[in-house]
Amino acid sequence: MNRDEALVLIKDVLTDVVPGADAATLSPDENFRENLEMDSLDFLNFIEALSERTGLALPESDYPALNALDGCADYIASRTAVK
């Protein structure tokens, strides 16, 4: 999966997990967890859905990298890239 595909997937997952969320209005480097007022359960649901859709294990130690669109897209793309 390339970075653009990862970004589309992340936005899809966000809108699934946070009803009414408008992922198109998020800045690439802003903390979407804060912007969308996601509580810890919302964020965990996001992580689980993202893991399910990518097939990646997403350890808690990596959660800080998954709080913003840019960081999350880079993380997902780097781990799903065809080698």
- Give residue 19's pLDDT band: very low, low, confident or very high (50, 70, 90): confident
The predicted structure's pLDDT at residue 82: 64
Split at pLDDT 50, 70, 90, the class of 18 is very high
Contacts of 35 (CB under 8 A, 6+ apart): 26
pLDDT tens digits, 26-71? 999 999 999 999 999 999 999 999 999 999 999 999 999 999 999 9
pLDDT at 83 over 70: no
Domain holding 53, by residue range, is 3-17+27-80
| Domain count across the chain | 1
Residue 22 lies in a domain: no
Of 71, 69, 63, nearest in space to 32 by CA: 69
Q: Is residue 61 part of a domain?
A: yes
Q: What angle do CA 81, 73, 23 make, to 5 degrees?
A: 140
- Which CATH number covers residue 68? 1.10.1200.10
Q: Where are the alpha helices (DSSP H) in the chain?
A: 3-17, 32-35, 40-54, 69-80
Q: Is residue 41 part of a domain?
A: yes
